[in-house]
Structure 1
Amino acid sequence: MRILIAEDHPDNREMLTRRLLRKGYEVHCAENGAEAVEMAQSCAPDLILMDISMPVMSGIEATKAIRNTPDVSNVKIVALTAHAMESARKECMDAGCDDFATKPVDFAGLVALIEKYAA
């Protein structure tokens, strides 16, 4: 399974990359929302882990852009955010995210979520 991590914080990006590679996933990374939109088209991920608060283009804006791009509009997108309120979840889902996970990341829970979409 090919996963695109869209995360602006280098420590978070590195931790997720390292741990997902150990689990056998192919991992690509974007540092902002605009890069995520470009890379969604170039690396054709099966799933995107989308940080919501990023520079250049937010995860919400990037999700909407991906949903409006025919070649990648159906890719699964999981929002990652430190905002655990129901309003944040609703905003992510309304933008087109398929699921929602909070930070700090519960890695076992995240892997279970990824596996749900791999099936």
Structure 2
Amino acid sequence: MLPKRVLLVEDNADNRFIYSAMLRHAGYEVILASNGHEGLDFGRTRAPHLVLMDISLPGLDGLEVTRQLKAEEATRDTPIIALTAHALPADRLRALEAGCDAYLAKPISPPAVLAEVRRLIGPPVAEGVS
């Protein structure tokens, strides 16, 4: 069976390394995007099971990427978790209004991110017959 794919859209190299290592160690396949344009492209073309979306991205911000993915039939049901340093209640509301399914304020422990991923898409490999 193939592992579930998580698209990590994050411009900070340290965060990309930490979260991708944690997800891979847990058994998920990880697709990395370092800006909003890559995130939008990979969200459309790589069929991730879930997107971890930084909000403050160069070029196209994470809210706009989320709005565009949620507006398209092929990607509208893909869960998107906002990962952001913007931690005010109004920031959370903006992320949810843009279409994010969950919101985690940085700094976020890797186990908390993994728990939210598992809550939304389950274990890294679909259970059942291969």
When the two structures are superposed, what TM-score results if normalisation uses the length of structure 2? 0.88
Partners of 2:108 and 2:31 in 1: CA distance: 18
Question: 2:28 maps to what in 1?
Answer: 25
| Structure 1 alignment gaps of length 5 or more | none
C-alpha distance in 1 between matches for 2:89 and 2:72: 27
Q: Give how far 1:112 is off.
A: 1.1
**What are the equivalent positions in structure 2 for 1:35-50 lying under 5 Å apart?**
35-50=38-53
Kindly, what percent of the aligned residue pairs are identical? 36
Following superposition, the deviation at residue 32 of structure 1 comes to: 0.8
Provide the aligned C-alpha RMSD in A: 0.9
**Shift in Å, 1:23:** 0.7
Q: State which of 102, 117, 121 in structure 2 corresponds to 1:118.
A: 121
Unaligned runs of 5+ residues in structure 2 are 123-130
Instruction: Tell which has more relative contact order, 1 or 2 (C-alpha 8 A, sep 6+).
Output: 2
Aligned residue number for residue 15 of structure 1:
18
Comparing both structures, which one devotes a greater share of its residues to helix? 1
Name 2:6's counterpart in structure 1: 3
Give every structure 1 segment of 4 or more consecutive aligned residues whose post-TM-superposition deviation is greater than 6 Å. Answer: none
The separation in 1 between residues aligned to 2:36 and 2:12, in whole angstroms, is 12
